[in-house]
Structure formats: C-alpha cells, structure tokens
Amino acid sequence: MRRTAMGFAVIAFMFVLFAAVVLAQQAKMPAPDTLPDGPRIFDSSRRGPSGRLIPGPQFRVVPMKGLSHPYALAFLPDGNVLITERAGRIRIVRNGVLDPTPIAGMPAIPNRNLQGLNDIALHPRFVENQWVYFTYYREKPGDKEAAAVVLARGRFDGKAVTEIRDIFVTDTMVAGASAARFVFGRDGKIYLAIGVPLPNNGRAGLATMSDAQDPSSHFGKILRLNDDGSVPLDNPFAGRAGYKRELYALGIRNAMAIIVHPVTGEIWENENGPQGGDEINIIRGGRNYGWPTVSFGRSYTGDLTGASGPALDQYTAPGMEPPWLFWAPSIGLSGMTFYTGDQFPEWKGSIFVGGLVGEQLQRVVLNANGLPIRRDPLLAELKQRIREVRQGPDGLLYLLTDEDAGALLRIEPVGPATAAGH
C-alpha cells in the first residue's frame, strides 16, 4: 500500500512536472513569433562584416501587455507613464501597473486608415501648469475618409484630462495614412510634423503627396507654434507671400519621431520612405528636406516616372537637404531616442530607432565625432512592430509595439556587469 501511495505521489509529481513542461513548451514554441508574457533576456553581441564577434551587453525585455496599437508615451514627474492608443484612449501606468481604465475626458477619436490619436507630450512647465498636449485626426462631419490634423491641449490632474481645446487645426484635410508628431524645443516652441498620404490616397481638395513641396499647405511640413497654438512672429517664412506662417521646414514625408538632441538642442526628426529612403534629418528653419522630389527610396509600385514618388536616380537636388542618415530598404523607421543613461554604459551616445515593417529595435552606433559607424539590429526575434522608443527618467529604454496586442517594453540591464549601473 505504501508503495502504491508512493506510486501515486510520484505519478502526481511527474504529472505536474510534465504538465508544467508541456505548458512551458507551448508557451515557448511560438516565442520566435510572438511577444512572451514575461521577461526575456537577449544578447546584443553580433558578428561584424568579416564574421568576428562584436561583444555587446545582455539586456532583459520586460513586457507590459494590455495595450492596443499604442503610439506614444510621456513620463510624468511622479514616475507614472501616459500612453496614447491609436483608438483615442490615453492609458496610464501607475506605480508600475497599467490601469485598465483609460484616462477620462478625452473626445471620441475615430481610428481609421492608421489615423487616430497619435503623439503626446507634457508642457515643459507641466509641474506648474498641468498642460498635456496630444495630436489626433478629427473626422470631417459626414465624411469618414477625410480628417483634419489637430494639436490639442488639456490639463491633466492625475486622473482626467480637462479643459481640452484644439489649439491648432490644419485648414485642409487628408485621407489615408499620415502621422502627426511634435516636440517642445529648448526655445519653448512646439515643433509639429504633419505627414502626407501615399499617392493613391489623394482625393480632390485633400492633401496629396505633392503638398510636401507646397508652401501654402500644412501637410508634409514641420510647423513651429507657440505653446498656445499661435504662430511665433520669428518663424522663418513669416510674411512671405504664399507661405503658411506656421511653416518651419518643408519636404517632409511622414515624420515618425521628432526629438531634441540632448547636447546640441537641435531638432532631430526621422521619417519613412516608401520602398527605401527612411531618413534621419536634422531640422533647420527654412530648409527643404526634399520629399517627394528627391529620396533614396522608390515608389512601392517600382514606378520611377516621378508620378508616385521620386523619379529614377533623384537622390539629391540643389536647395534640398540630404538626410543625416538613410536606410534602403525601409525598416519603417519609427520612434527615436539618443541614449544618455547610465544603465547601459556601452550604449551611451548611441541612437536607438524603432522599425515597423522591419520589426526591430536598431542601435545606430556613433564615433567620437557623432558620425554613424554601425547599425545593429536588436529584438528581431520578437517579430514586433516597434512604434515608439524613449529613454525613461530611470535611464532605461522603453518601447511601444504597434500591435493589436500591443505592449510597453522595458529594457533593463542583466547581471553583474551592468548591475553597477543601477
């Protein structure tokens, strides 16, 4: 009997182990294709052009699931995090936990054609004034395809957004995929990038690809605004006939990130090309960044006539700024940060960018002169569309995944080599 009892105990034990292993394996099997539920360790070492190993730190990816197509995030002074979802919600991570209830007070924002709620940022003096800013696409009444791009602001008291007001609205509209990202410059002005649609999404009276070269349109531009949405008097094209007063720079396709360089204070922007031609640009007032006249990309259709994108071999042109760096083919550049933290000493001074179609985080390694010397793909194993890349106040990296089952990913050091950074 004792033997039988022990037999059963062993059976039970084995069964539990077996079940655990099967479950673990089932959880693991799709791992190359889906985001794991728990933390996972990666090695950033890679092999260089000749095959020799270039060592890099290990890092741990800690996912926080429960988001739908998150787009942008803002770190609050108390360490909490605001996250926009394309479908019009602002979510909050409070004390490390994602609140299932969205922030109250937001208007209804339709989520169509990759439009919806986009970027979010706090006023530089948020502690004093509680202003939070966001961009979204406001549907034309009675026309579900056309939308104006809106920069709005409201007050955030930790629970709800109130006093929301649309402080800038484009005077024409757009159909189809576009993006609206913004940043506060060191001069306190808002630099707002407004994208143009793909050529096949043009409609009479709406913005088209060629708006990016049209100074009388807000689309395909970097705009410069005061913090109340009014137009600064010292804008580069102020008073110039045929130019919108808000214009700061022209020839932008679809900016996916616009940030301030942590040392120089320059405005850095990145954007997607169609089939190649993703760019990082340093945005200077009054300059023209070339889309769709010049690009290192081609039309999605392969067309090189110039009708649906740059013509064959139109890479540069007089009076148009070449990118600081470009990609071909496209990785769907999206999200960007200069890493300045202490958590990963080896990564200090590198640029990190996200890839949508490229499903990766990419580290752009710079030399002592700040020029790129290498680009290391990271996290390709996860097969996640990376939408946003930010450095947290804790010196860790935070990513958002552009997925139906989207997530916030925290990237933190592993082991003794980097634990000193904590």
Give the residues lining the site for its own copies (CB under 8 A).
3-4, 7-8, 10-11, 14-15, 17-18, 21-22, 24-25, 28-29, 32, 47-51, 114, 177, 272, 275, 296, 298, 300-304, 313, 315-316, 322, 326-330, 332, 356-357, 359, 366-367, 369, 371-375, 380-381, 385, 402-403
- Best CA proximity match to 116, nearest among 102, 106, 126, 104: 106
Cβ within 8 Å of residue 329, ≥6 positions away? 275, 276
- Best CA proximity match to 245, nearest among 269, 282, 217: 217
CB 56 within 8 A of CB 376: yes
CB 162 within 8 A of CB 90: no
For 23, list phi and psi in degrees, rounded to 5. Answer: -65, -45
Entry field: residues in the chain: 422
Least distance in angstroms from the C-beta of 331 to its own copies: 10
Q: Which is nearer to its own copies, 218 or 363 (CB)?
A: 363
Least distance in angstroms from the C-beta of 329 to its own copies: 4
Q: In what order do the strands lie in the sheet with 81-85?
A: 70-75, 81-85, 90-94, 97-98
Q: Which is nearer to its own copies, 84 or 360 (CB)?
A: 360
Task: State the number of CA atoms in the 13 A half-sphere of 256 facing the CB.
Answer: 26
Q: Which is nearer to its own copies, 27 or 263 (CB)?
A: 27
CA–CA dist 301, 91 (Å, integer): 38
Least distance in angstroms from the C-beta of 98 to its own copies: 22
Q: Which is nearer to its own copies, 245 or 375 (CB)?
A: 375
The two structure tokens encoding residue 360: 């990766």
What is the gyration radius of the CA atoms in the chain, in angstroms?
23
Q: What is the DSSP string of 72-138?
A: EEEE-TTS-EEEEETTS-EEEEETTEE-SSPPBTPPP----TT-SEEEEEE-TTHHHH-EEEEEEEE
Q: Which is nearer to its own copies, 229 or 332 (CB)?
A: 332
Least distance in angstroms from the C-beta of 359 to its own copies: 7
CB 257 within 8 A of CB 335: yes
Least distance in angstroms from the C-beta of 37 to its own copies: 18
Least distance in angstroms from the C-beta of 420 to its own copies: 28
Q: Which is nearer to its own copies, 181 or 224 (CB)?
A: 181
For 46, list phi and psi in degrees, rounded to 5. Answer: -150, 170
Q: Which is nearer to its own copies, 26 or 95 (CB)?
A: 26
Q: Which is nearer to its own copies, 312 or 420 (CB)?
A: 312
Least distance in angstroms from the C-beta of 25 to its own copies: 5
Least distance in angstroms from the C-beta of 125 to its own copies: 37
